[in-house]
Structure 1
């Protein structure tokens, strides 16, 4: 009887969390999947007829091809720049001593305490025709008139990097906490250069943090709504804003649901392939 109780205990303890997970995530996703196979009539709304025309439209319409390509290219670029900024930043922060480490870590992670909408509104003010960037460019004589980064891919990319780079810093920071600094000193004492220490000792040990951080950033960028909607506007649509328009403006809920389902599936496929490829390759590269 005690063995049976011991086997049931983990399930009983995790039961409330699993139930909440099912109610708040699994059930809505299943309902969205079912909705994506419904038909839609402009004058009648959503119909009970089972169809696959929504997915055919998503996969055959060049308009949606462009939107998906833009979404994933911007997500990949966001992850790339977050790696370039976040990895050195996390390494430098890890090398700092108190109290500067705590101060600069708070400055780095502080934006997470502010709503993404507020941060994006700040960038909208900066990117405007009368913003700091436009005034600086005109002051330097690089432009004869106002310059605006609103409704451009560059503006959306900058805002996304600012919003998501703390997640990269946190992931790399967690890996650096398991790194013994004595191994670096030992390698240097044996004649290794600083570049060799970084390549053969530091980088292989923090690569899991880089991989997990880039996956998190890519997934969040691909599904981001507030930042692309506010900076990109209706001129620069991504999948999330397009699905939003289908739900609330066109009222074509099945097509919006199919866009959401395709985005989720492609995200899973890309992230899974990325993980398997780099987890298999990075160790071989750094050991050579």
Structure 2
């Protein structure tokens, strides 16, 4: 018995955790690329090819007597860079986009927080009201705002009936009217982005802060706001890109007197028939949007790492 016991005690102890097996190489390494080939081909046909053709068109020249001339030159870009008129148009475009982004963040973030705190069925009804503008055509919504903003519209007539103003306020063909209409169109995108961030926020964290003596404003500033900042930044990227490239709303509310980059490119294509210059405006607008979006996206990713890591 003692010898058997000694032999059992002297036996080597097996390892508690076996080493993981080496990663197996895929037998067909080209399969992932072949599976993604249809999507890449569709992406190239529908996006890359038109963008490339637009850029090549911007390198052509134009004359009112000879039309489009197939030559490669950078004259259109030099004309836009040197002309103060184009500077004013692009500055107005990004100023409107920035104001719309700020207003969407100011109204959209609290709106998303209030919706999250609601109970059924009021939450669903209010969410439908907030997202309702997305279910209606942009042209229809903008024409509705044009009827409200007119000198005989409901807004001016109501303010005059209340004695607040004596003469109608000029909303049409002004930056103020364009900003208000674009904010109404784009605020649902901000609400959805902030809503997605709020889904990660545990309501018990707010209750814990309140139980420890923090006031409601302190809870909002120290607990809720840091959690939803990534959502606000993500929504700001979407709103800014859509506002900077918007066409229907600035064309209807702003008219021909208030040019933005999108309406300027449209006029160059269809009114003056200067396609190369219109393509140049479109390319510069795309490049500016990409630069701003990529820079903001880096900021969003850095903020996500600080909050959730």
Aligned pairs for 1:1-288 within 5 A: 3-5=26-28, 7-277=29-299, 280=302
**2-structure distance, mates of 1:43, 1:120:** 38
Preserved CA contact (<8 Å) 1:172 1:210: yes
CA distance, structure 2, for counterparts of residue 200 and residue 137 of structure 1: 40
Give how far 1:133 is off. Answer: 1.0
Indicate the larger mover: 184-193 or 137-146.
137-146
Following TM superposition, by how much is the alpha carbon of 1:95 offset from its aligned partner in structure 2, in angstroms?
Answer: 0.5
Measure, in 2, the Cα distance between the counterparts of 1:143 and 1:109. 32
Distance 2:215 2:278 in 1: 55
TM-score scaled to structure 1, two decimals? 0.93
Mapped to 2, the partners of 1:10 and 1:142 lie a distance apart of: 66
Q: Do the aligned partners of residues 190 and 141 (structure 1) sit closer, same or farther apart at CA in structure 2, a change above 3 Å counting?
A: closer
Give the structure with the higher percent helix.
1
Would you say the 8 A contact 2:115–2:127 is kept in 1? yes
**Long gaps (5+) in structure 1:** none
CA distance 1:146–1:193, change in 2 (3 Å): closer
Give CA-to-partner distance per residue, 1:138-189, whole Å, 9 cap, x none: 2123433444411011110100000000000000001111111111112222
Contact 2:151-2:168 within 8 A present in 1 as well:
yes
SS of structure 1 residue aligned to 2:61: strand
Judge conservation of contact 1:89–1:169 (CA < 8 Å) in 2.
yes
Which consecutive unaligned segments of at least 5 residues does structure 2 have? 1-23
For normalisation by structure 2, the TM-score amounts to: 0.87
CA distance in 1, matches of 2:206, 2:165: 48
Q: Compare relative contact order (CA 8 Å, sep 6+) and give the higher one, 1 or 2.
A: 1
Offset from partner CA, 1:40-91 (integer Å, 9 cap, x none): 1111111111110100011110000000000000000000000000000000
Deviates more, 1:131-140 or 1:61-70: 131-140
Secondary structure of 1:3 counterpart:
coil
Three-state SS of the structure 1 residue aligned to 2:69 is: strand
Aligned to 2:62, the other structure's residue is in SS state strand
Instruction: Give per-residue Cα distances to partners, 1:252-288, cap 9 Å, x unaligned.
Output: 111011111111111122222334356557988x9xx
> 1:211-233: per-residue Cα shift (whole Å, max 9, x none)?
01001000000000000000000
The CA deviation string for residues 79-130 of structure 1, in whole angstroms up to 9 with x for no partner, is: 0000000000000000001011111001100110101110001001101111
Matched residues, number: 284
Contact 2:108 2:188 (C-alpha < 8 Å) held by counterparts: yes
